[in-house]
Amino acid sequence: MRRPATRLGSMSLAMVLALIIGCAANQGCRETPQGPPRVIIQATNGKEVAVDVELARRPSEQSRGLMYRQHLDPDSGMLFVYMIEGKHSFYMKNTYIPLDMIFIGSNMRVVGIARNTKPLSTKHIGGEITSQYILEVNAGFCERQSIEEGAVVRFEGFNPD
């Protein structure tokens, strides 16, 4: 006797298949069961500061970044993840939100900070800093949270590989 598929059972299978196909297509499914992606920074005052992040891993995500957005939540940001360290250059073209850009080396330390970047500017930022990750947050974040060069960084909720 054939057992009829339940609605929940068929939906679960469809969701699992969509997840597998989606991950195989973009190779960007590296979140872990720990929760949403976050960057944790050890501030100079000893406090740990958490930032919920969107990940920009693919070139298309990295070239768009936070362009065209009008708002970024206070403890949120975008983390640009590169496969290797390099001198990654950014500009603010079509970016309406002033940002702090935190450059993070492969040693998981802050190696540079571009503070209060000017919206809509085409001036290149950070091209002289060797980093593997760049965290973009609202302007003034680093000052408010006591984030300085040398701060230790860790990632939660995803694997950077």
Class assignment of domain 33-156?
mainly beta
> What pTM does this model have?
0.79
pLDDT digits (tens, 9 = 90+) for 82-125: 999 999 999 999 999 999 999 999 999 999 999 999 999 999 99
Alpha carbons 73 and 14: distance in angstroms, whole number:
33
**Residue type for position 117:** T
**For residue 161, what pLDDT band results from cuts at 50, 70 and 90?**
confident
Alpha carbons 45 and 39: distance in angstroms, whole number:
17
Q: List the domain boundaries for the chain.
A: 33-156
